[in-house]
Structure 1
Amino acid sequence: MSLLRVKIQDVFNEPGCEKNRDKDAKARKEGCSKPLTPGAAAGGCAFDGAKIVLQPITDVAHLIHAPLACEGNSWDNRGAASSGPALWRTSFTTDLTELDVVMGQGERKLFKAILEIKEAYGPPAIFVYPTCVTALIGDDIEAVCKRAAEKYGLAVVPVNAPGFVGSKNLGNKLAGEALLEHVIGTLEPDDAGPYDINILGEFNLSGEFWLVKPLLDRLGIRVRACIPGDARYVDIACAHRARAAMVVCSTALINLARKMDERWDIPFFEGSFYGITDTSDALRNIAELLVKQGADPEILGRTEVLIAEEEAIAWKKLAAYRPRLAGKRVLLNTGGVKSWSVVHALMEIGIEIVGTSVKKSTVEDKERIKQILKDDNHIFEQMAARELYAMLSEHKADILLSGGRTQFVALKAKTPWLDINQERQHPYAGYDGMVELVRQIDLAIQNPIWCQVREPAPWDCQPAVGEELPRTKSENVTLHAVQEFSGTTAADFGEC
């Protein structure tokens, strides 16, 4: 555990983080998150964060060395998509029991599990994750992985991020450290070129990176490695030969980006593929970085031509939604990179932002929001469910964009809701993704169900003595449909 402690302290002293640099020496050692309380839910532990970052590597076997419940609680925890291998969706665990712990059989059971996976699936690599139990009893994961790799002739990567060491965000960074120490740079590509880039922190949720990659392909830019979305082990092992990198979610893999820049001279920038303007800016920044690294400057001109074509198409499609959504009020309860990138994207088409959360957002993210909204009153660190419900029930927003945790708050307040977090079913990145986001917002707001659920219930519309119970608007629609048969018109009935 001493080696793990050194790694954690190294992450806490991350010089690539603006927020970290502003702290004094004592505060820097304490990290970014509050200590976890044993037995309490804290939005995910370090093991969960590491699994989130590494599981989308599609052709790798992810083996959890722990009791069964640890894997059951973390399997398929994001809506990432694969264009090929599906091994990452198969759950592997050593299923450690009380008897294994008492008898000291953990390491032997792990060694046997690695052999079984190799013989049954033949993956290029196996990632091994210890959890709280196996870390506390002292199983030497790194020694077992090293011995198995030598004996079986495949990469066996220890991901040392047991849950008790910290938060999910810390686990994200420890996963990046595992890739840096055991994977990146272990293979040499035979086709390295001046237009190779890495995309870090892109998870390909609902396949949305597939809306961006064709744009890069048209510019002749090759994504050497997209970490972790739809990634292959060989691509990540060769990622050190890229010429530039883009970091999509800095809180997750900023340490990986910085250290790759230090070791292999791969400059990086933080950007977003959400929204028309941000997508165009990301493409420009990629082209400019490649030129600085020796690529032909003509790529700058081709990039501008592509941007002009794609923006014209996107704005033409969005024109149909402008009159329907102009002035509509959106409340964002997300955090991270989406706290500013989605704000900017929605404001481009005339939608008003009444509030956005900045939980897990970096200092740079918050500064961007202040510049966009020009009002700190629309920014909140976090909002309790009761406060969120009060805001929605008072009709201060026309729709809530958030994750699945708060969808029932919106439904209780009879307010449209759209999933914009990792469980979402629609891709929102790039030019086409922006059009799809606006289309989904329009569908949610204009759905006729909201007119019906907001009507008073029939038992709240008590008729006077001797009067017939009045019909609701939705019931009158049905009456119109049958009036030609009965001779009765909707005017014969009252409305709530």
Structure 2
Amino acid sequence: MKPTSEQINDSLAPGCENNPQNKKSTLPQPGTAQGGCAFDSAMITLLPIADAAHVVHGPSGCAASMWGSYGSLSSGSTLYKIRFTSEIEENDIIFGGAKKLYKGIIELQRRYKPAAVFVYSTCITAMIGDDIEGVCKDATQQTGIPAIPVHCPGFIGSQSMGNRVAGEALLEHVIGTAEPEYTTPLDINLIGEYNIAGAMWNVLPLLEKLGIRVLAKITGDARYKEICYAHRAKLNVVLSAKALTSMAKRMQKRYGIPYIEESIYGVEQINQCLRNIAAKLGDSEALASPRASADLQERTERLIAEETAALDEKLAVYRSQLQGKRVVLYTGSFKSWLIIFAAQKLGMKVIATCTENSTEEETARIKSLLGEDSIIQQDSPEEMLQIINENQADMLIASDRFQDTALTAKIPFLNINTDRNHPYAGYLGILEVAKELYAAFYNPVWSEVRQPAPWNAEV
């Protein structure tokens, strides 16, 4: 069933930018999709379901939107990497594209035998009124393979709205449709981590050492079937994508599954995450024995002590080379926190950062971590260059669009973005960040950059 505006609004947090209570008008405004639309973020959320086929019902250009530029990895099936589209053209806009979509799904299911098919609406097909709900229902009856409609035309709102719509699609059509072979008192779901560069693979072994089973991953390196029985978990752990907190709230209301919001980026954060999972599972009715709860928390503390000691030993060599270095940071989302925590662990000083897409609470937290003398900057290369020069910064960490700024300032530059090849989660992630900081800072190219050009050198 297509989610109603009431259902979507109920899932929004009171402080959310899309909550109509915070707006004078609930109608989409021009430009709200700039920098990423609801369609993009819905695909970001669901595309990591690796054994499913993902069909874009729209122009072929929309199908090229996310594939290839988002580094979500799979440990098995690679079906999710294939681009499927109904390739809507002018005649389809006039006469409708529903029949074309139905035939395409039937052929796809015959040829690839996917575990499921996710069908995404786009701006054009939503405006002409194609009934993807009915098409998916008919295709499911014809083949027996679930076809799930995702109502995510780009014009309905920003990225966070697309995340929520994707979560609603899973709640309405997937979660609760199958049962696991067995359950344990230590079953959890991980929600909102998309396994970019294999980040989740740094965390799963830690949970396995504690005897905690990840029943469903929503959605990094996920399989369709495991999401179907996610309703049998004892705890939901919401990680990077806070927009999916609304999904956890709905599961708590519908299935009685408690949830916690955690981070796996940063040493103290992963420590706290493991502790909170153990404490929450220990308080649940599934672990009726106080002794079992105490054993779980004791194992957790022992694992944290072992991992942090091993990490400190490995970081020592990098700390000796990077301690005292001054960094200017311009990254978005969780990456800012990751670099701040890693820099503090290495004895580096972040002298300036940005608060793009940050709430007032997050901005206040950044200032408390960096100190009142820290600089909060805007999206301006000129301002950034001035800050670098005035504060004698040693390194710039930003997206590739600021690489010229680093070259102008003649300081080392580290590009950190979603198309990265290294996972930054867990204890191993901090070590990876340290390696990259060291490699960038001591790259010999920077000593060459600081030399005068041969034609300007004194004879």
TM-score (norm 2): 0.92
Q: Residue in 1 aligned with 2:445? A: 449
Work out whether 1:84 is the aligned partner of 2:76: yes
Q: Residue in 2 aligned with 1:175? A: 166
Aligned amino acid, residue 118 of structure 2: F
RMSD: 2.5
The C-alpha deviation readout for 1:125-146, integer Å capped at 9, x for no partner, is 1000111111111111111111
Q: Residue in 1 aligned with 2:29? A: 35
Seen in structure 2, the aligned counterparts of structure 1 residues 450 and 318 have a Cα distance that, compared at 3 Å, is: same
Work out whether 1:312 is the aligned partner of 2:309: yes
Please list, as runs of the form range in 1=range in 2, the aligned pairs for 1:230-249 lying within 5 A after superposition.
230-249=221-240
Structure 1 unaligned residues grouped into runs of 5+: 464-468, 470-496
Please list, as runs of the form range in 1=range in 2, the aligned pairs for 1:172-251 lying within 5 A after superposition.
172-251=163-242
Aligned amino acid, residue 109 of structure 1: K
Q: Greater shift after overlay, 382-391 or 63-72?
A: 382-391
Seen in structure 2, the aligned counterparts of structure 1 residues 3 and 242 have a Cα distance that, compared at 3 Å, is: closer
Give 3-state SS (helix, strand or coil) of 2:324's partner: coil
Q: How many residues align?
A: 453
The C-alpha deviation readout for 1:265-303, integer Å capped at 9, x for no partner, is 222222211222211111111111111113321100000
Seen in structure 2, the aligned counterparts of structure 1 residues 402 and 275 have a Cα distance that, compared at 3 Å, is: same
Q: Residue in 2 aligned with 1:360? A: 357
Which of 380, 386, 399 lines up with 2:382 in the alignment?
Answer: 386
Seen in structure 2, the aligned counterparts of structure 1 residues 61 and 434 have a Cα distance that, compared at 3 Å, is: same
Q: Greater shift after overlay, 267-276 or 409-418?
A: 409-418
Q: Residue in 1 aligned with 2:92? A: 100
CA distance in 2 between counterparts of 1:292 and 1:126 reads 38
Structure 1 position 169, deviation (Å): 2.1
Structure 2 unaligned residues grouped into runs of 5+: none
Contact persistence 2:342–2:433 (CA under 8 A):
no
CA distance in 2 between counterparts of 1:2 and 1:213 reads 34
Aligned amino acid, residue 68 of structure 1: S
Seen in structure 2, the aligned counterparts of structure 1 residues 328 and 458 have a Cα distance that, compared at 3 Å, is: same
Structure 1 position 29, deviation (Å): 6.7
Structure 1 position 227, deviation (Å): 1.5
Contact persistence 1:50–1:174 (CA under 8 A):
yes
Work out whether 1:9 is the aligned partner of 2:9: yes
CA distance in 2 between counterparts of 1:58 and 1:292 reads 34
TM-score (norm 1): 0.85
Contact persistence 2:9–2:20 (CA under 8 A):
no
CA distance in 2 between counterparts of 1:444 and 1:321 reads 12
Q: Residue in 2 aligned with 1:435? A: 431
Q: Residue in 2 aligned with 1:149? A: 140
Which of 390, 394, 399 lines up with 2:395 in the alignment?
Answer: 399
CA distance in 1 between counterparts of 2:256 and 2:139 reads 33
Structure 1 position 402, deviation (Å): 2.9
Structure 1 position 214, deviation (Å): 0.6
Aligned amino acid, residue 303 of structure 2: L
Which of 257, 278, 284 lines up with 1:287 in the alignment?
Answer: 278
Which structure has the bigger radius of gyration?
Answer: 1
Contact persistence 2:328–2:350 (CA under 8 A):
yes
Structure 1 position 111, deviation (Å): 0.3
CA distance in 1 between counterparts of 2:241 and 2:334 reads 8
Give 3-state SS (helix, strand or coil) of 1:319's partner: helix
Structure 1 position 424, deviation (Å): 0.9
Contact persistence 1:278–1:341 (CA under 8 A):
no
CA distance in 1 between counterparts of 2:151 and 2:400 reads 29
Percent identity among equivalent residues?
A: 45
Seen in structure 2, the aligned counterparts of structure 1 residues 62 and 438 have a Cα distance that, compared at 3 Å, is: same
